[in-house]
């Protein structure tokens, strides 16, 4: 190997090492944020979780601890001491804060997993764009909003991308890395390297509605709900058909329940508003009716309704209530 090659190889390694994402700020410690924080910390990154108040942060921390313990029990079955070390070392890399402005000063990456609302996401990024270090990359875990529209309020559009994780984050292998036309190659490459470092398989996608997975899944769930509406088949038969006929691990109705009908409804309505010409995004009156009747259902299934209003099975087939109740409680 020539001297020049050695120098350039060493230079690129040291540039990469210097540039690598090490300090991650996760804004929002809910379902997704806690999973993202966990996998970042367990793969050796320093993580700060930012939430609205200390009470939520305590809950998030406890959830992460329990999730790490579950991983340790599985991975270090024969070596409990190593499992304990894994949990305590991972937790030692996690800190918490309610002051985003403070923690961004030391962040290579600020990834938001807060409520799915464009103006709230705008407020968040706007508040840190001028004060975060120039090198800091901003990312959103949005499922249904446009990354470009979220980034619109920031000057650092070249350092803005989508990082779309899947629920449950510690289990699901995929990460969609979403590039806007303005995301720079350097930002993209750093995010792809980070995705690998946290143990995910990353795919790249343009900033299009639903990216890859939801763009295919949401219309599938929507059509399954239209089938129910037309009375083409029962929820059970639709799910069995897709599991045994198409090899899906979960049927579309079961999946719709898992995601939450409130979420599905707002995604499809949001896409329809933006792309009214696309028939795949047509609103679902049946789903809207279920969402509107939340109070009626909550009286019947009040133990379930506290998490999400998943009640399609129950609504359609009362006899399946106990089956659904059992499944749902165990998923949540």
Residues at the interface with ligand NAD (CB under 6 A): 27-33, 50-52, 56, 113-116, 120, 124, 141-143, 165, 167
Tell me whether residue 77 is annotated as binding: no
Choice among 23, 214, 265, 314 that is catalytic:
214
CB of 47 within 8 A of CB of 94? yes
Choice among 176, 264, 310, 314 that is catalytic:
176
Taking the complex as a whole, how short is the minimal distance between the CB of residue 98 and ligand NAD, in angstroms? 8
CA distances from 283 to 226, 268, 309 (A): 10, 6, 18
CA distances from 20 to 13, 14, 32, 190, 203 (A): 10, 10, 23, 6, 19
83 or 162: CB nearest ligand NAD: 162
46 or 98: CB nearest ligand NAD: 98
46 or 127: CB nearest ligand NAD: 127
* CA-closest candidate to residue 19, choices 194, 165, 158: 194
Supply angle C-alpha 196, 202, 207, rounded to 5.
135
Is 254 among the residues known to form the active site? no
Tell me whether residue 302 is annotated as binding: no
Taking the complex as a whole, how short is the minimal distance between the CB of residue 214 and ligand NAD, in angstroms? 8
Which tokens in the block code for residue 148?
A: 């470009």
The set of residues, in sequence order, having a beta carbon less than 8 Å from that of 31 and lying 6+ positions away, is: 167
Is 143 among the residues known to form the active site? yes
3-state secondary structure 234-249: CHHHHHHHHHHHHCCC
Which tokens in the block code for residue 220?
A: 């599938």
- The CA distance from 127 to 50, in Å, is 14
Is 164 among the residues known to form the active site? yes
Residue with the closest Cβ to ligand NAD?
A: 30
143 or 187: CB nearest ligand NAD: 143
Would you give the end-to-end CA distance of the chain in angstroms?
Answer: 56
For residue 22, report the phi and psi dihedrals to the nearest 5 degrees: -120, -40
Choice among 143, 309, 310, 314 that is catalytic:
143
124 or 301: CB nearest ligand NAD: 124
| CB contact burial 101-122 (16+ within 10 A = b; e otherwise) | eebbeebbbbbbbbebeeeebb
Taking the complex as a whole, how short is the minimal distance between the CB of residue 308 and ligand NAD, in angstroms? 9
Choice among 45, 164, 261, 328 that is catalytic:
164
Taking the complex as a whole, how short is the minimal distance between the CB of residue 314 and ligand NAD, in angstroms? 21
Which tokens in the block code for residue 199?
A: 């143990």
Taking the complex as a whole, how short is the minimal distance between the CB of residue 92 and ligand NAD, in angstroms? 23
Tell me whether residue 266 is annotated as binding: no
How many other CB atoms sit within 10 Å of the CB of residue 193? 14
Q: What is the DSSP string of 171-194?
A: T--EEEEEE-TT--HHHHHHHHHH
Taking the complex as a whole, how short is the minimal distance between the CB of residue 275 and ligand NAD, in angstroms? 18
Is 176 among the residues known to form the active site? yes
5 or 119: CB nearest ligand NAD: 119
Residues annotated catalytic, as ranges: 143, 164, 176, 214
- Residues that constitute the known binding site: 67, 74, 143
- Residues that constitute the known binding site for CoA: 67, 74, 143
């Amino acid at each position: 190997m020539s001297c020049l090659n050695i120098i350039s190889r060493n230079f690129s390694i040291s540039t990469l090492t210097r540039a690598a994402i090490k300090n991650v700020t996760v804004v929002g410690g809910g379902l997704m944020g806690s999973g993202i924080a966990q996998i970042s910390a367990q793969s050796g990154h320093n993580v700060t979780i930012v939430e609205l108040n200390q009470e939520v942060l305590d809950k998030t921390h406890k959830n992460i601890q329990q999730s790490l313990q579950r991983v340790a029990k599985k991975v270090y079955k024969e070596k409990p001491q190593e499992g304990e070390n894994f949990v305590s070392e991972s937790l030692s890399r996690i800190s918490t804060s309610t002051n985003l402005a403070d923690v961004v000063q030391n962040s290579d990456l600020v990834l938001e997993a807060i409520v799915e609302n464009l103006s709230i996401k705008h407020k968040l990024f706007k508040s840190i764009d001028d004060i975060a270090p120039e090198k800091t990359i901003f990312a959103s875990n949005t499922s249904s909003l446009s990354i470009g529209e979220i980034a619109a309020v920031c000057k650092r559009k070249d350092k803005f991308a989508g990082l779309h994780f899947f629920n449950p984050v510690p289990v699901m292998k995929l990460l969609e890395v979403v590039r806007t036309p303005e995301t720079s190659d350097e930002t993209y490459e750093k995010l792809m390297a980070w995705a690998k470092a946290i143990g995910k398989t990353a795919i790249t996608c343009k900033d299009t509605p639903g990216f890859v997975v939801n763009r295919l899944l949401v219309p599938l769930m929507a059509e399954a709900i239209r089938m129910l509406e037309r009375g083409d088949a029962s929820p059970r038969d639709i799910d069995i058909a897709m599991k045994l006929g198409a090899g899906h691990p979960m049927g579309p109705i079961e999946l719709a329940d898992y995601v939450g009908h409130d979420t599905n409804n707002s995604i499809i309505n949001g896409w329809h508003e933006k792309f009214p010409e696309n028939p795949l995004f047509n609103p679902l009156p049946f789903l809207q009716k279920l969402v509107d009747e939340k109070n009626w259902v909550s009286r019947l299934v009040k133990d379930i309704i506290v998490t999400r209003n998943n009640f399609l099975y129950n609504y359609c087939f009362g006899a399946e209530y106990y089956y659904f109740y059992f499944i749902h409680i165990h998923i949540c």
